């Protein structure tokens, strides 16, 4: 099973971007299955083998890790039915349906995006991470300052508030990180990277460097979970909101 893609995969995505209609996609779905979904599942399976060594809590079946090509248009003004990329999200096994920290990969017509961290966390999760950073901001600062990590994932997306969030002191030494609304590192590589035999190495190298960051950001979220036969159950909202 290949762990990289063929030129036909990018050709399909480029055509899909131009012809994002059910009438176009449906008769070509077998091409999508062969050129995109099947190789992506194979790639996820190989990445999982490496994740088992440095982020075992993020190893999930490929079918649970790959993201749907279909867009959820119910609450969006954009009614295009399909994404023009194929993607995968390695969520934490205790929080698979939330915006906790994890690893992300997508292949689009014009880029290969590799990312890690927390993107658009839920309100209670955002509050929990901020409260955790009151005492652990220096740990996050040290991780973000690591040269190998920032070379591999140079783009930092924090989308900070202009003012300190309510209830947090403006003069706190970690306020720059506490003002953030997300903490995500990424890199955009040429789409043709997905066609190379080195694809697996490119992804795993970056995920491994980002693993300590993902672990740190998940620490306060996991502390709010209890387990019953290894199935996570919320005792209460992650953190009190009042």
Q: Which domain holds residue 61?
A: 7-234
Asked if residue 23 is part of any domain, the answer here is: yes
Question: Cα 139 to the chain's mean position, in Å?
Answer: 21
Q: How many domains does the chain have?
A: 1
Question: Does any domain span residue 105?
Answer: yes
Tell me the C-alpha distance between 163 and 101, whole Å. 24
Answer whether residue 139 is part of any domain. yes
Establish if 24 belongs to a structural domain: yes
For residue 176, the tally of other CB atoms under 10 A from its CB is 14
Residue 240, domain member (yes or no): no
Whether 242 maps to a domain, the answer reads no
79-112 pLDDT, tens digit per residue, is 999 999 999 999 999 998 777 999 999 999 999 9
Residue 122: C-alpha distances to residues 41, 65, 100 (Å): 28, 20, 8
168 located within any domain:
yes
CATH of the domain at 88: 3.30.930.20
Within 8 A by CB and 6+ apart from 182, the residues are: 117, 118, 119, 120, 121, 157, 158, 159
pLDDT of residue 184: 97
- Residue 134, pLDDT > 70, answer yes
pLDDT value of position 75: 82
Mean pLDDT across 214-227? 85
Residue 128 has pLDDT above 70, yes or no: yes
- Alpha-carbon span 44 to 64, nearest angstrom: 10
Tell me the pLDDT tens digit for each residue of 39-75.
Answer: 999 999 999 999 999 999 999 999 999 999 999 888 8
Determine the Cα–Cα distance for residues 218 and 214; give it in Å rounded to an integer: 6
Residue 107 lies in a domain: yes
What is d(CA 96, CA 122) in angstroms, rounded to the nearest whole number?
13
Contact predicate 53/37, CB 8 Å: no
Q: Which residues contact 187 (CB under 8 A, 6 or more apart)?
A: 113, 114, 115, 152, 153, 154, 155, 206
């Amino acid at each position: 099973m290949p762990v990289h893609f063929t030129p036909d995969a990018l050709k399909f995505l480029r055509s899909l971007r131009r012809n994002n209609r059910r009438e176009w996609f449906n008769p070509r779905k077998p091409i999508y299955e062969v050129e995109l979904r099947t190789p992506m599942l194979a790639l996820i399976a190989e990445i999982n083998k490496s994740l088992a060594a440095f982020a075992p809590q993020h190893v999930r079946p490929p079918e649970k890790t790959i993201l749907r090509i279909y867009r959820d248009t119910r609450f969006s003004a954009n009614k295009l039915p399909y994404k023009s990329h194929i993607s995968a999200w390695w969520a934490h096994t205790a929080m698979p349906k939330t915006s906790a920290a994890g690893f992300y990969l997508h292949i689009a017509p014009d880029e290969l995006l590799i990312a890690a961290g927390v993107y658009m966390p839920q309100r209670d999760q955002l509050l929990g991470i901020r409260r955790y950073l009151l005492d652990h901001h220096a740990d996050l600062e040290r991780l973000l300052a690591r040269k190998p990590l920032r070379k591999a994932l140079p783009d930092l997306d924090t989308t900070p508030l202009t003012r300190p969030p309510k209830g947090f002191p403006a003069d706190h030494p970690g306020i720059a990180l506490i003002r953030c609304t997300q903490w995500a590192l990424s890199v955009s590589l040429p789409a043709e990277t997905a066609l190379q035999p080195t694809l697996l190495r490119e992804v795993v190298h970056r995920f491994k460097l980002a693993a300590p960051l993902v672990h740190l950001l998940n620490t306060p979220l996991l502390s709010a979970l209890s387990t019953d036969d290894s199935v996570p159950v919320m005792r209460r909202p992650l953190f009190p909101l009042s």
